[in-house]
């Protein structure tokens, strides 16, 4: 950590900045506990020595893939490293065996395809670039080798990418867990298809995230002794129930209501559905559509997913009626 003792006139340092969080600069003068700094945007600033952190002038411009390699493990050093990597589309960085992921807010199919899964299969942590598949791989191998349960904790603020990360972890674990065929469907297919079902009923557009999970979840994937997927269970917690009857602009109610309003014509007539603007629970907010989401297409995908996870046609009809 930066301590006032190792900062002298001429030192390169980081100071807090209201616009860019941290800005680098050079110490011009030290007066008691305060330092006068010329920042890299040409301005002068005065800051208390306890709020100034030394800058590593030998830091690699592309950053380091494990933050334990940083000379200074303080907030500006960590953020600078993540920023340098993010600018190169490197969204993953390790801190020891913890993976930091930065939301890329764009599709990066080249880092998640079948080829990547094959590449990360069986590879020890740290041998390849930091990746969510590497974390899933380590957890899987430890479980198989030690014969003990293992968990991966995914945390972050709303919109950080927890749901997407969890789906990628499940995808890779399903890839590692091989094929156990039951009733024509593979268990891993059922595990993966649980996501669209959960999202339809438990996700909604919020100010921060168009697909915000309004519940917590604990996903349990069960493996047999040889490491093949044998089953799964998903426990959900604390669904935000108030959203069903009260929605604030520009948020939306749960996706399932809009999907239902985009059902094929015969179902619209059968269940007396129609434009979402006609329903009080949906028209409290003027937001009805999501960018890049086709509700009619999602309706069919959700019905298909419900079938795959084992929700019968009869129960699907019941669910539709319950939603109305």
Ligand X SMILES: Nc1ncnc2c1ncn2[C@@H]1O[C@H](COP(=O)(O)OP(=O)(O)OP(=O)(O)O)[C@@H](O)[C@H]1O
Residue 237, interface with ligand X (CB under 6 A)?
A: no
For ligand X, the closer of residues 144 and 293 by Cβ is 293
For ligand X, the closer of residues 251 and 267 by Cβ is 251
Q: Which stretch binds ligand X (CB under 6 A): 105-113, 188-196, 216-224, 240-248?
A: 105-113
The footprint of ligand X on residues 210-229 (CB under 6 A) is: 211-213
For ligand X, the closer of residues 57 and 291 by Cβ is 291
105, 115, 225, 266: residue in contact with ligand X (rule CB under 6 A)? 105
161, 196, 202, 276: residue in contact with ligand X (rule CB under 6 A)? 161
Least separation in angstroms between CB 140 and ligand X: 20
Binding mask 52-91 for ligand X (x = CB under 6 A): ----------------------------------------
**Which tokens belong to 19?**
């616009």
Q: Which residues of 207-244 are buried (b: 16+ CB within 10 A; e: fewer)?
A: eebbebbbeebebebebeeeeebeebeeeeeeeeeebe
Residue 156, interface with ligand X (CB under 6 A)?
A: yes
Least separation in angstroms between CB 100 and ligand X: 12
- Side by side, the strands of the sheet bearing 12-17 are 44-48, 34-39, 21-31, 12-17, 53-54
> What is the longest distance spanned by two Cα atoms in the chain?
79
For ligand X, the closer of residues 75 and 164 by Cβ is 164
- Neighbouring C-beta atoms of residue 123, cutoff 10 Å: 15
For ligand X, the closer of residues 156 and 310 by Cβ is 156
Residue 158, interface with ligand X (CB under 6 A)?
A: yes
The answer to whether 261 and 273 have CB atoms below 8 angstroms apart is yes
Q: How far is CA 323 from CA 199, 219, 241, 319, in A?
A: 15, 25, 13, 6
81, 93, 186, 209: residue in contact with ligand X (rule CB under 6 A)? 209
Number of chain residues interacting with ligand X (CB under 6 A):
17
The answer to whether 144 and 122 have CB atoms below 8 angstroms apart is no
For ligand X, the closer of residues 68 and 89 by Cβ is 89
Least separation in angstroms between CB 294 and ligand X: 15
Phi, psi of 87 (to 5 degrees): -65, -20
Distance separating alpha carbons of residues 274 and 295, to the nearest angstrom? 13
Residue 2's Cβ-side half-sphere holds a number of Cα atoms within 13 Å equal to 22
Q: How far is CA 200 from CA 148, 166, 259, 264, in A?
A: 33, 16, 8, 17
Going by the annotation, the residues of the binding site for ATP are 156-163
Instruction: Give the footprint of ligand X on this chain (CB under 6 A).
Output: 103-105, 107-108, 156, 158-164, 209, 211-213
């Amino acid at each position: 950590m930066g301590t006032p003792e190792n900062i002298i006139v001429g030192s390169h340092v980081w100071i807090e900045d209201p616009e860019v969080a941290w800005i680098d600069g050079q110490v011009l003068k030290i007066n008691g506990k305060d330092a006068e700094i010329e920042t890299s945007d040409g301005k002068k600033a005065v800051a208390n020595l306890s709020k100034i952190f030394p800058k590593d002038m030998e830091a690699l411009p592309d950053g380091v893939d494990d933050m334990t390699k940083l000379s200074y493990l303080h907030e500006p050093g960590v953020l600078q490293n993540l920023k340098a990597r993010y600018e190169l589309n490197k969204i993953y960085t390790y801190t020891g065996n913890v993976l930091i992921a930065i939301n890329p807010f764009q599709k990066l199919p080249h880092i998640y395809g079948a080829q990547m899964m094959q590449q990360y299969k069986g590879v020890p942590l740290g041998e390849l670039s930091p990746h969510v598949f590497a974390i899933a791989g380590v957890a899987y191998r430890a479980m198989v080798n030690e014969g003990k349960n293992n968990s991966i904790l995914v945390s972050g603020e709303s919109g950080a990418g927890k749901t997407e990360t969890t789906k990628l972890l499940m995808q890779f674990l399903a890839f590692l867990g091989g094929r156990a065929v039951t009733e024509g469907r593979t268990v891993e297919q059922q595990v993966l298809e649980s996501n669209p079902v959960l999202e339809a009923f438990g996700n909604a557009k919020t100010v921060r995230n168009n697909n915000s999970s309004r519940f917590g979840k604990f996903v349990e994937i069960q493996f047999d002794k040889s490491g093949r997927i044998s089953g799964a269970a998903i426990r959900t917690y604390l669904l935000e129930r108030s959203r069903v009857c009260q929605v604030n602009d520009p948020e939306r109610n749960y996706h399932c209501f809009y999907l239902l309003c985009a059902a094929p014509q015969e179902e619209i007539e059968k269940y007396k559905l129609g434009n979402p603007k006609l329903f009080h629970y949906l028209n409290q907010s003027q937001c009805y559509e999501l960018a890049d989401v086709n509700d009619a297409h999602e309706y069919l995908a959700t019905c298909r997913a419900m079938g795959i996870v084992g929700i019968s046609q009869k129960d699907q009809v019941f669910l539709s009626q319950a939603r109305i």
